[in-house]
Amino acid sequence: MTGTTMNTGLPDVADIRGLKVRFATDGDPVDAVKGIDIQAHAGEVLAIVGESGSGKTVTANALLGLLPETATMSGAVIVRGRGGETDVVHASAAKLRAMRGRDAAMVFQEPSTALNPVYTVGWQIAEGLRAHHDGRLSKKEARARAIEILRKVGIPDPDKRVDEFPHQFSGGQKQRIVIAMALVLNAGLIIADEPTTALDVTVQAEILELLRACRDEFGATIVLITHNMGVVADLADRVVVMLRGDIVEQAPVRDLFANPQQEYTRELLAAVPHVGQGKSALDAPSVVERPQRDETPHAADEAPEGSLIVARACEIGYPGRFGRGGVVAVKGVDFHVGPGEVVGLVGESGSGKTTIGRAVVGLTTVVGGSLRVLGLEMNGVKQRQLTPLRPEIGFVFQDPATSFNPLLSIAECIAEPLVVHGKASSVAAARARVNELLDAVRLPTNFGDRFPHELSGGQRQRASLARALALDPKLLIADEPTSALDVSVQAKVLDLFVQLQAELGFASLFISHDLAVIDAVSDRIIVLQHGRIQEQGTTAQVLNDPSNSYTKELLAALPVPDPVEQAERRALWQAVRRGA
C-alpha cells in the first residue's frame, strides 16, 4: 500500500484551507504558517516533512486546536469523525474537548513527558474513556478496555502491566502506550509528531509497524510529522514538504522520491546518510584480512603501541543504593582506540555504549578488568589522578542545549575549559582562541556574544564541538552528537566532524545507535548489546559483511530514503526477526 495515493471516495478526514498561524512576541509577530492547503484522505498516511521551524508541528497542533494563547489562526481547519465536522478555528472549548480523542488524537514525540508519572498506564488510558462516556463506563469495563488495547499494541502481559507506572516501561513500550491512548476511542485521525525520533533503529522499526497496523487494521488516517526521510519512505503514502511556513512540494511518496521537483526537497533527500556511502565504501572487505569474529574478538590484545584507549576484560558498573547490590552494565569488553582513528560504538539504549564513554573520562566506575586511557589505569583510579588527564580529553554531549550554561554567552562557555585549566587568565584573555575555534567550526565570531538559546540546534552543536576542542585534546568522546538534529543539519555537522578530525588528528570514540551516521565518520566499529561486544572490525567488514545476527538486525532495521528499496528492507527485517 505504501507509495499509493488513497482514493476511497470518502470525505477527507482532515481538510486545511488557507491556514495562517501568527505568534505574538515581544518584538515583531512571527508568521509560522502562511496560508497552506492540506487534505488528509481517509485511510492514508500523510507525511508532513521539513526542518525545524518549517511549520510542520504548528500545523499538526492546529488540527487539534492545541496552539498557545499567543497564536492567532485564520483560514479553515476541518476535522471529520463520528461526531460530525469540527471547525477547529471557530469551535468552542467544549466542542474541541469532545473532538479530541473521539475524532482525532495525538501521539507526541516524547512519551515520557506525555505520560503522567504518578498514575498507572491503565488509569491514564481509562481516563480518556471516562471523559468521553460521561461516567457511563464502570471501572471494571474501563480496565478491560485498557488491557485489550495494550494487548493490541504489543505490550506483553497486559493484564499485569496495566497496573504499572510509566517509569517501569522502556522507551519503545512507552510510545506504544501513547499510541494505545490514541486508539482506545477509535479516533479516525491520528497525528504522530516525530514518534520515532528518540528511539533506537530496531524499536523505531517496531513502532512504524504498529503505525502501519493503525492504518491497515484499525482503519485510521495518520498525519505523520517528521524530518526523517527514511521513516517517510517506510510508512507514508503521500508527502507534503514544508519550508518556513509554506508548502514547497507535495506528491505521492514514490513520485516524490523518484523525481523531486524542488531544490529544497532534493537537498533534504541528499542529506540523508546511507550505509555504504561512507567509510565502508572506501575499504572492500575482500581486500582486508578478515579476523575470526564468530566469537567475541579480543581486539585489545592486538592494540597498537600508543593506543589512547585499551580495554581488557573491562567491566563497568554503578554502585547499589540502600543496601542493594550494584549493577554491572558493561561485562568484560576488549577493544582499543588507536592514535588518530575514529572508532564507532553502536548499539541500542541499554547496550552500555554511553557507560563506556563516561568511564573513559572517569564519570562511571571500572569494577573489573582493565581500562587504560592515555596510559592511566581507570580501575581503582583516584579523582586527583584524573586532573592531568582532563585537558587531553574532549566530550561532545548529545544535547548541547542542556550542556551549556544558559546564563553564559557562547564565548564564555567555550572559554571555560581554557580558564579552568589555566590556559587563559580570563574570558577576555581567551577571546582570541575562542574566535579561532568558532572559525574552525564554521560559525561567525560574533556568535560568541550570543547566548545558547539564540542559536539553532545545529549551531549549538558546532559551538559544543568548539568547546570540546578548546584544549587541543588527543581524544574526543562524542556521545550521540547528531541524534537530535534535523537531517540536513546532521549532514553538515558530520561533514564538519570529519574535516576537523582530518585537520587536527585527534582520536575519537563516536557513540551512536545509527549505523549510517557511524559509517560517515568511523574507521572501525564496535557493536554492543546488553553490555557485551557482539562484533567489531573495520567499517567495511561490519557493515558490508556482518557475521553477527544482532548486527544484521540493526542494519535491516535502518530505514533508507527510497520507498522501493525500503519495502524490500522491511521484508528483510521481518525475516531477520523471525529467524532470531
- CA distances, 524 to each of 11, 338, 342, 500, 551 (Å): 53, 10, 7, 18, 14
Judge if pTM exceeds 0.75: yes
Q: What is the pLDDT of residues 110-138, one digit of tens each?
A: 788 889 999 999 999 988 888 776 567 78
How high does pLDDT run on average in the chain? 86
CB 266 within 8 A of CB 234: no
CB 481 within 8 A of CB 441: no
The reply to whether 48 falls in a domain is no
The reply to whether 393 falls in a domain is yes
Q: Which residue has the cell 585537520?
A: 503
Q: What is the mean pLDDT of residues 345-372?
A: 90
The reply to whether 284 falls in a domain is yes
CB 213 within 8 A of CB 230: no
The reply to whether 321 falls in a domain is yes
pLDDT at 534 over 90: yes
Rounded-to-10 torsion of CA 259, 52, 189, 86: -110
CB 59 within 8 A of CB 242: yes
CB 204 within 8 A of CB 514: no
- Amino acid, res. 17: R
Backbone conformation region of residue 116, classed left if phi is above 0, alpha if psi is from -120 to 50, else beta: beta
For residue 21, the cross-strand partners are: 33, 73
CB 185 within 8 A of CB 129: yes
- CA distances, 427 to each of 394, 420, 422 (Å): 19, 10, 11
In whole angstroms, give the CA distance from residue 355 to residue 531. 9
The reply to whether 205 falls in a domain is no
E strand or H helix that includes residue 203? helix 201-216
pLDDT at 319 over 80: no
Indicate the pairing of strand 365-373 with strand 376-377: antiparallel
- Contacts (Cβ under 8 Å, ≥6 apart) of 93: none
Nearest to 241 by CA among 270, 266, 221: 266
The reply to whether 298 falls in a domain is yes
pLDDT at 533 over 70: yes
Going 162 to 166 to 172 to 178, the CA torsion angle's sign is positive
- Amino acid, res. 222: I
Indicate the pairing of strand 221-226 with strand 238-243: unpaired
CB 487 within 8 A of CB 457: no
Question: What percentage of the chain carries pLDDT values higher than 70?
Answer: 92
The reply to whether 87 falls in a domain is no
Q: What is the pLDDT of residues 397-454, one digit of tens each?
A: 877 778 889 999 999 999 999 999 999 999 999 999 999 999 988 889 999 999 988 8
pLDDT for res 6: 47
The number of domains in the chain is: 1
CB 482 within 8 A of CB 310: no
CB 338 within 8 A of CB 305: no
Nearest to 284 by CA among 546, 540, 543: 540
Indicate the pairing of strand 475-479 with strand 393-396: parallel
Q: What is the CATH number of the domain that holds 503?
A: 3.40.50.300
Exposure string of 285-302, with b = 16+ CB inside 10 Å and e = fewer, is beeeeeeebeeebbbbee
DSSP letters, 340-367, are T-EEEEE--TTSSHHHHHHHHTTSSEEE
pLDDT for res 288: 38
Describe the strand order of the beta sheet including 524-529 as a list of residue ranges. 393-396, 475-479, 507-512, 342-346, 524-529, 532-538
Give the domain extent around 346: 279-400+472-559
CB 372 within 8 A of CB 362: no
Q: How confident is the model at residue 296 (pLDDT cuts 50, 70, 90)?
A: very low
pLDDT for res 321: 66
Q: What is the pLDDT of residues 66-75, one digit of tens each?
A: 988 888 999 9
CB 260 within 8 A of CB 81: no
Nearest to 146 by CA among 164, 166, 124: 124
For residue 366, the cross-strand partners are: 316
Q: What is the pLDDT of residues 131-178, one digit of tens each?
A: 776 567 788 888 999 999 999 888 889 999 999 998 888 778 888 898
In whole angstroms, give the CA distance from residue 24 to residue 177. 35
Q: How confident is the model at residue 348 (pLDDT cuts 50, 70, 90)?
A: confident
CA atoms within 13 A on the CB side of 428: 0
Exposure string of 67-80, with b = 16+ CB inside 10 Å and e = fewer, is beeebebebebbbb
The reply to whether 35 falls in a domain is no
Rounded-to-10 torsion of CA 33, 39, 43, 49: -30
Query: For the ranges 9-13, 180-184, 524-528, which has the lowest average pLDDT?
Result: 9-13
Q: Give a three-class secondary structure readout of 310-331.
A: EEEEEEEEECCCCCCCCEEEEE
Question: What percentage of the chain carries pLDDT values higher than 90?
Answer: 43
CB 44 within 8 A of CB 221: yes
